[in-house]
Structure 1
């Protein structure tokens, strides 16, 4: 059995972008309910994360972007108090309510605190059940449900504050992690590998051309066997050649065949297998060190089941 830390906070439930929005508080309820019902939660080391500081978030974002988020928050609270129904839009898909700023800082704080816990040896790996997600958030703007890029800033934090020389980011969300690529492209200390449905949101595809980024487009309706072959042929050789000292995972579960926000065909066993591969790379090169952060996944039943197999594999309880 592996020691796995679990980071989450009630503040992440208070961020609400309105009725019918797929990135909803019920996503975390579905995950927590599934982990409790399965008994898996009892095997995890539970942590409530602190609020990330502006200095920490500036590892991945411009001060102007962070100040803009704070301005939206301040105006919302001044106009609406704690009315969770009041919204301020950052783009057509992404809004803040009066509680969003705390949720953003808890999500970022979870990624940082998980990095600290794993680096201190308190756990071999960690899963952050947080929202809002982060992998579309670019260095200077919010987009695609994402305001601050939790995985990108945690990877930078590990390099700057823990003295690591090489870290890897693995992104298996159905959507291209354009924000992460924007932040880490050209940084030789970070290798990013991912796959994403294309053509699909955010529509641009992987365009940086950076040597440290391997983001692979796949066609709609691609299923697990083809994804596994691609991981074996392209991800794993790059990861092994890079020999990361820690791995960060953008764990999106919207490539599941039951998810309406994607058109790929993964099932729970595919997420189990991908997690096994990530864990094996971490064991070979990084002393097992992994921090995984929730990204997408919008069919609540499929999300709960998929997160369970991912966390169960991290914890060595399959």
Structure 2
């Protein structure tokens, strides 16, 4: 097993050397143009991570592309990255996913070496275990992204009523919608404030307020916030009263949260019966009947 691992490492090193030699003989267009535009587009300083990315990047990207296409579409990954507010692109996520898979494979190989040195299990079982470690690492990264999306959406729902009320108060005080958004992003901190800051940055870069709000509505995964952004864009475009729209949206979200809380409480009520029936009730019955059983035993013994 150790010899197989060493042979795989040697083969991987030879393949990397051959790939680097091939790329050095036929450089890409970006490699040829970059030295002449370095003053226009400066490159970051060479760090350890940047150097590793330059050495192993092309081969690693091909591996991640193959793994990614087998585990999910790039469109779904891009949509989830956009929903959770991450600035990474699909390629960066695929690199992270492949790294997690490599860590899972390394852990599986280490456990396989230990198992081989102890009990000599079948080689097929060890290979299946290594494949399971690789796939498990990739799936764990995908689940991490899904959990990140759910957490981000929960934060958006929790912050939305307060932010909507702040926007309504600012607009009622006489400020414009753009100035209200700027004030809210300056005095508050959170996921929704960060998203509104992105809207503000898009407006400052040249887009209209309506277009920035429409893009915000398209990239968020929360239905209430998307409806709020669309209603705010329509109110700004058509000149309808914005204060009533904001207060109505905040009240709607609070009512939805209250209804979801009551539904969750109703579902948890059934789950709370499990420890009562299988833990507390048997202990109560034991405490109630044990003295009587002891008394009967003493009476029968006398």
The bucket for the TM-score relative to the shorter chain is under 0.3
Q: Which has the higher strand share?
A: 1
Q: Which is bigger in relative contact order (C-alpha 8 A, separation at least 6)?
A: 1
Q: Which has the higher helix share?
A: 2
Larger radius of gyration: 2
